[in-house]
Structure 1
């Protein structure tokens, strides 16, 4: 419990995690890392569907229909998405509410220790450097949870650059498509009205 002595705020934490995800990307990266706080439940569900569920479904569809690959179990992007969604749902009560916790008993215990024990059992929350902690957390998750070795970092950084370019191209194509649909849609309406 960090309490008020060395608070770790959610917004700051998600911003640091987003920065570190760009600094230490994984070779398994399929999309650009992002981190958003969306308080409205319905808006979050819409964002989640458009930004996660639909792309995962499309990836599985392309892999199975166009590439002839079987998308079941761990290899399915939709299964991977559902696991991430389950984890998100589990932590939502803790990330969506404010928790006021006291660590006065821990402080009192720490004060009772002699200097040698304080060195041996160092658990003073006020001395935690959250930036270093999160950096170790991201690197550890990358290595031990994703089984992505540190030697893969240069290739992962290159993949991240490619994903950035692809994301920019897709965004530009979407804007261009929307522009042309708007222009052609207006002309189509004028043409239909002139026929009447």
Structure 2
């Protein structure tokens, strides 16, 4: 799962500019600036907002999925057990679960070095996972295999959807982690990009 959020959403500069300026936050930003801008200045501002917003979407889907899984209590328990017994390997199975990571990235708009507007976005990335098996060794997540996975990604502003896509991702999905990734000893939301949770898909 190597796709970046931006590619998955089809969020090129043109798409982002359109969503930010047509019913999006552009008018609020202009209002906060408090003075009229020429058409070239408005165009430059819109392009810069699109570029900055696109920069918030550069993370890979696989990295976000892993960050969400790190809060799963069975992985945490397996990490504790194998950290105490380095020769022991645990296989953790998970079926029909939903993994959600929600974050609120923001952009500061500055005029004459003073912030005039804070553009707060909401990014929700949800995975419906079926048939996951993870290997935990020496307190580290070493390998993940997923039979089927659907990603649902939404970027919104002020409760208005700017971009959204739901689609299947690589299946079967295999994530090899080399020497492994440390699993936190407790569910810590800050480990992910935002608040993360794992729950049965039917809940």
- TM class, shorter-chain normalised? under 0.3
Give the structure with the larger helix fraction: 1
TM-score by length of 2: 0.23
Higher RCO, Cα 8 Å, sep 6+: 1
TM-score by length of 1: 0.24
